[in-house]
Amino acid sequence: MPKIVRFHETGDADVLKLEDLPLTEPAEGEVRLKVEAIGINRAEVMFRRGQYLEEPQLPSRLGYEASGVVDAVGPGVKGIQVGDRVSTIPCFSIGKYGVYGESAIVPDYAAVRFPENLTAIEGAAIWMQYFTAYGALVEYGHLKKEDTVLITAASSSVGLAAIQITKAAGATAIATTRGADKKPFLLDAGADHVIVTDQEDLSARVMSISSEKGARLVFDPVAGPFLEKLADAAAPGAIIFVYGALFPEVTPFPLFPALAKGLTIRGYTLFEIAQDAGKRARGVKYISERLQSGALKPVVDRTFPLADIAEAHRYMESNQQKGKIVVTV
> What are the tens digits of pLDDT across the range 79-99?
999 999 999 999 999 999 999
Per the structure, the complete domain to which residue 164 belongs is given by 129-271
**Amino acid in position 293:** S
Cβ burial 156-190 (10 Å sphere, 16+ → b, else e): bbbbbbbbbbbbbbebbbbbbbeeeebbebbeebb
The domain total for the chain is 2
What is the Cα–Cα distance from 175 to 54, expressed in whole angstroms?
30
Residues 13-70: pLDDT tens digits?
Answer: 999 999 999 999 999 999 999 999 999 999 999 999 998 989 999 999 999 999 999 9
Domain boundary among 224, 252, 271: 271
- pTM (predicted TM-score): 0.94
Residues 194, 215 share a domain? yes
Residues 255, 162 share a domain? yes
| Domain harbouring 222, CATH code | 3.40.50.720
Band of pLDDT at residue 319, cut at 50, 70 and 90: confident
| Domain harbouring 311, CATH code | 3.90.180.10
Residues 215, 310 share a domain? no
- The HSE-up count of residue 204 (CA atoms within 13 Å, CB side) is 5
Residues 147, 107 share a domain? no
For the chain, the average pLDDT equals 96
Neighbours of 59 (CB within 10 A): 12
Report how far Cα 110 is from the mean position of its chain's Cα atoms: 15
